Amino acid sequence: MVNENTPESPEGLSTRESLAEDSDGERHLTAQQVAPPAYQAKRSLDPVIRLADVTKRFGGVTAVEGVNFDLYPGEVHALMGENGAGKSTLMKIIAGVHRPDEGALLVDGVETVLQDPKHAGDLGIAMIPQELSLFPQLTVLENLYVGRRRLRRRGLFDGAAMKVAARDVLGSLGVELDLDAPLRSLSVANQQLVDIARSLLKKARVVIMDEPTAALSDREAVRLEEIVNALRASGVAIIYISHRLKEIRRMADRVTVMRDGKYVDTISAASATERDLVRLMVGRDLAHLYDRKRHPTGPVRLELRGFTKEGEFSDIDLTLKSGEIVGLAGLIGAGRSELAQTVFGIRNPSAGQMFLDGSSVKISNSADAIRRGVAYVPEERLSEGLVLPFSIAANISFASLKRVSRGSVISGRQELSLAERFRAALDIRGGRLQDRVSMLSGGNQQKVVLAKWLATEPSILILDEPTRGVDVGAKVEIYKLIDKLAAEGKAILLISSELEEILAMSDRVLVMREGRITGELSKAEANQESVMVAATGAES
């Protein structure tokens, strides 16, 4: 209320409105630059949330380090950063899922240790996760009141009163839903609204939205925008995580950018260009991780033409040569893993063609793919890769049992010698081949999974985030291995969300965004900015 009288606010408001109508109005808007410190100084209200020098570690990994963040009532504060920048961890600290190891969380200016998400909820903090946490079989009304004890009369639910309150809240969001309809019959957008309405029923003052528009159509996204604006007008503070630069510039008041778990900057959204945001996200100082040797490439092994899977990716053209490493960059949810899994035959394409060594093929299952020399090392290597009760040897030979069997009888000797060969090649340590794989360390378990796929002797190797969750030393080891495999003539498709990795390893970089290839960059053209611009769709 007080800040309505400050000269900043009306201007900020009109800025937003003009942007909503006219998305080309960037140039004259950058003229009205607002210095972030001045913006903060003008606030006369206390922040509803303040993080002071917050650090959070998981094991040896620092997820968030020394972050400062504040949030005022009636503000939309966007949070940006690459995958793994620490946004989710930060939000989970605010939502009471994690407790900071260092630093403090202040709610209404009072230092608070949140016991759990319910505690956060009681203080008016609600989180709308990307994967909605609703109950598809229950009705809209039941979903709105899950886990709540209010509106009870003599131990019974007061259905009529609940309905009235529910309609009020949904009405304030400008929607009308059948309260008795099962949630699963609603569109994703409407389900999201139910989740928002639920947080409002709990009298939320802080709403955290994690990529709310990721699953929405353009029209639905516009409606969500209106709702966010309405919430802001009613004094709710909103933390908005998104990769969509335009959306953020249009909706947010301020943007905080994070990189590698560290706080980078907080700037006024209207004053920043999309280029500015990209630059802040990627930074400029990159450690040189690994120096690749160059080797000559051979014939084309894999080619995709117009490869499409309805709702996941479309019109993918791609070639992959023997001895070549092609990096597939993009943000999470861009459709890269889905593409890889379709090539591997776990999913079926709805259109397009696939060629292996020049001949058109249809791969309908993974056994087929393995037989044809395609290997896919999934992102979830441990949960989708290992059979824990099996020995190390049995895990290594698992995808190539046919090679060590006569008919269907496994030769124990051949199996052990195959396993030994790859154990030595990958330097797997910490147990004998006959020991259970579960006794190995995480890093060595990862190597077992790689060994399993190399044992199938693939000519095409698809690696999905091969160094996720691996420490730096083990990373370099994996890079060496990838390099060596390429030198041996394998065609390698490297999916990675780490720019450094993509840039260090790739001969060529393909960038995907929202299911399409939005950039193809040679080694010379590829740099952090060019990749991020293609990945986020930024315009300069």
User: Where do contacts with other proteins occur on this chain (CB under 8 A)?
Assistant: 344, 346, 365-371, 376, 378, 380, 383-390, 394, 398-399, 401-402, 405, 408-410, 412, 436, 438, 452
Residue 505, helix vs strand vs coil = helix
Q: Which is nearer to other proteins, 69 or 453 (CB)?
A: 453
Minimum distance between the CB of residue 445 and other proteins, rounded to whole angstroms? 10
For residue 140, the one-letter residue type is: V
Q: Which is nearer to other proteins, 160 or 409 (CB)?
A: 409
Minimum distance between the CB of residue 435 and other proteins, rounded to whole angstroms? 11
Minimum distance between the CB of residue 284 and other proteins, rounded to whole angstroms? 39
Minimum distance between the CB of residue 364 and other proteins, rounded to whole angstroms? 11
Minimum distance between the CB of residue 349 and other proteins, rounded to whole angstroms? 18
The tokens describing 199, both together, are 């947080």
Q: Which is nearer to other proteins, 379 or 483 (CB)?
A: 379
Q: Which is nearer to other proteins, 295 or 402 (CB)?
A: 402
Q: Which is nearer to other proteins, 145 or 344 (CB)?
A: 344
Minimum distance between the CB of residue 385 and other proteins, rounded to whole angstroms? 5
Q: Which is nearer to other proteins, 78 or 356 (CB)?
A: 356
Q: Which is nearer to other proteins, 243 or 381 (CB)?
A: 381
**Helices (DSSP H) in 23-77: which residue ranges?**
26-30, 36-42
Helix pair 159-172, 188-201: axis angle to 10 deg: 110
Q: Which is nearer to other proteins, 108 or 368 (CB)?
A: 368
The H or E element containing residue 248 is helix 245-251
Q: Which residues pair with 183 in a beta bridge?
A: none
Minimum distance between the CB of residue 486 and other proteins, rounded to whole angstroms? 23
For residue 234, the one-letter residue type is: S
**CB contact set of 25 (below 8 Å; sequence gap of 6+):** 18, 19
Judge contact between 532 and 282, C-beta under 8 A. Answer: yes
Minimum distance between the CB of residue 392 and other proteins, rounded to whole angstroms? 14
Q: Which is nearer to other proteins, 258 or 386 (CB)?
A: 386
Judge contact between 71 and 77, C-beta under 8 A. Answer: yes
Minimum distance between the CB of residue 380 and other proteins, rounded to whole angstroms? 8
Minimum distance between the CB of residue 408 and other proteins, rounded to whole angstroms? 5
Minimum distance between the CB of residue 418 and other proteins, rounded to whole angstroms? 14
CA distance readout (Å), 13 to 91, 130, 250, 268: 26, 28, 11, 13
Q: Which is nearer to other proteins, 33 or 441 (CB)?
A: 441
Judge contact between 301 and 320, C-beta under 8 A. Answer: yes
Minimum distance between the CB of residue 444 and other proteins, rounded to whole angstroms? 12
Distance separating alpha carbons of residues 447 and 534, to the nearest angstrom: 32
Q: Which residues pair with 460 in a beta bridge?
A: 374, 491
**Is the four-CA dihedral 392, 396, 398, 400 of positive or negative sign?**
negative
The tokens describing 314, both together, are 């479309």
Buried b (16+ CB within 10 A) or exposed e, 157-184: beeeebeebbeebbeebebebebeeebe
* Reduced 3-state DSSP string for 334-371: CCHHHHHHHHCCCCCCCEEEEEECCEEECCCCHHHHHH
The tokens describing 23, both together, are 């998305």
DSSP string over 66-108: EEEEEE-TT-EEEEE-STTSSHHHHHHHHTTSS--SEEEEEET
Q: Which is nearer to other proteins, 109 or 412 (CB)?
A: 412
Cβ burial, residue 199 (10 Å; 0-12/13-18/19+): buried
Q: Which is nearer to other proteins, 222 or 439 (CB)?
A: 439
